[in-house]
Structure 1
């Protein structure tokens, strides 16, 4: 059974000097390919470097390159050129993480919108899919996306946490949906239990968003409280439960979806190791 983690923040400081071990545990848990998330230009350059350093076969690690809405205020005249150069590299498979965050408003909303539009234009030009972030901004995000959607090859709303209205609007715009350990959170994620079943096969992908969003249903929990890709099978288990699907069926169609979305090669299956998976 193969899984693909479409969103892992391997450049996060909590993973520093531990990346190879994190990847080994992921592979032992059946997570055969990972897409590292870029959230700033420098961070995206680091993600690309990790792909090349840690995956000599060029079949296991890939990344995105973009500027997160939190960092939209860092956009300058140099950003577009550096981002374009990144997006032309083979391991870089999508534009992002980009989007809108009207929950925390770390960057002014108008600046977020401008930087999103710049990145959508790059995605159209280079014909790359888009890795989207959205918090409390679904209606505005949809307004902006409608101007670009027909020219984009694909787009995924990563770490979807919204309500039914937002989900159906995204699906109507032919977007993909990424689910994380948020669905395992009994405090704030229970609304996703019913919504998970509404996402058609072929539009659903799974992600850890590590080191964030440790699944609260995971037993035993790691002592350091840090999420990692090796725990993606717990997200698989929770999503399968609420979709009424077997683990094998859900793994098969979400993996096929991710492979098609990011243009990833097929890989030879990796052995499962329950001790690595549980204890990390």
Structure 2
């Protein structure tokens, strides 16, 4: 099942153990499923480097982000900042992140998370690139830091959003976009997200698999891992929630991703 408008998957963790060595076949199946571009997510200096190297192997189709995830914030230092800055000078590296705050399990201390996040907000300001954002059980601190950053010109997407309708509305009013994963297809656990997506304007939504995680529950056949070829099922769930055709969702979300990440400026014609 494909659509006339190519889709954009804004979040794939090619560096994850589940996807190691699978990039060529994942990309081939994604193209067959009419996925027109993929954003490979960097969550550490090392994975940011490997994702950019992979993007160079698939120019005009694969792009990358560069950042340090809040789980790894205890290791943040000036060397990491310098290395990320160098990666972001590459046109194929189109966003700062994954960065943000995660107080759910506190793999890094909240103080170190805020320190690393603040530095990466400054990095986005210095490079002029958008933010690929993570917020889990940390809304108040995250929102306060983003409010100041947006006032300074920052823009970005809260990826893999799983929060409430009120939180989504607050982010949208602030000027941020919302990334929607297969969690929206989970009728048992995803009801809060489904309500949030239903009330979020289509011109502020992006599609993402967050592969290999969060496989869509509405997919007829699935492998043991999630992959970009499954993106259509997320678009279908959003279409059902908004009461529109899947093509309308595809067109809106693809335009949003082009706008935020500058894919059209890269010569990509989706």
1:50 paired to 2:51: no
Distance (Å, rounded) in 2 between the aligned partners of 1:106 and 1:268: 40
The normalised TM-score by structure 2 is: 0.95
1:238 paired to 2:237: yes
Q: Aligned with 1:220: secondary structure?
A: coil
Q: How far is the alpha carbon of 1:198 from its aligned partner? A: 1.5
Q: 1:38-72, CA deviations, whole angstroms, 9 ceiling, x for partnerless residues?
A: 0000110000000012x1xx211101100000010
Distance (Å, rounded) in 2 between the aligned partners of 1:197 and 1:30: 25
1:23 paired to 2:27: yes
Match of 1:195 in 2: 196
Distance (Å, rounded) in 2 between the aligned partners of 1:255 and 1:153: 21
Q: Aligned with 1:128: secondary structure?
A: coil
Match of 1:8 in 2: 12
Distance (Å, rounded) in 2 between the aligned partners of 1:15 and 1:210: 8
Q: What is the aligned length?
A: 264
Question: Against the structure 1 CA distance between its residues 268 and 145, is the aligned structure 2 distance closer, same or farther, given a 3 Å change threshold?
Answer: closer
Detail structure 1 runs of 4+ shifted over 3 Å in the superposition: 266-269
Contact 1:123 1:152 in 2 (8 A): no
Name the stretch that deviates more: 247-256 or 153-162.
153-162
Q: How far is the alpha carbon of 1:218 from its aligned partner? A: 1.3
The normalised TM-score by structure 1 is: 0.91
Q: How far is the alpha carbon of 1:192 from its aligned partner? A: 2.1
Contact 1:128 1:152 in 2 (8 A): no
Contact 1:14 1:211 in 2 (8 A): yes
Q: Aligned with 2:160: secondary structure?
A: coil
Q: 1:24-48, CA deviations, whole angstroms, 9 ceiling, x for partnerless residues?
A: 0001001110000000001100000
Distance (Å, rounded) in 2 between the aligned partners of 1:121 and 1:17: 34
Distance (Å, rounded) in 1 between the aligned partners of 2:26 and 2:222: 16
Higher relative contact order (CA 8 A, sep 6+): 1
Q: Aligned with 2:203: secondary structure?
A: coil
Contact 2:37 2:61 in 1 (8 A): yes
1:175 paired to 2:176: yes
Distance (Å, rounded) in 2 between the aligned partners of 1:38 and 1:221: 25
Q: How far is the alpha carbon of 1:187 from its aligned partner? A: 2.5
Q: 1:241-262, CA deviations, whole angstroms, 9 ceiling, x for partnerless residues?
A: 0011101111001001101100
Match of 2:113 in 1: 112
Which residue of 41, 49, 55 maps to 1:37? Answer: 41
Contact 2:10 2:39 in 1 (8 A): yes
Distance (Å, rounded) in 2 between the aligned partners of 1:73 and 1:267: 37
- Structure 2 unpaired stretches of 5+: none
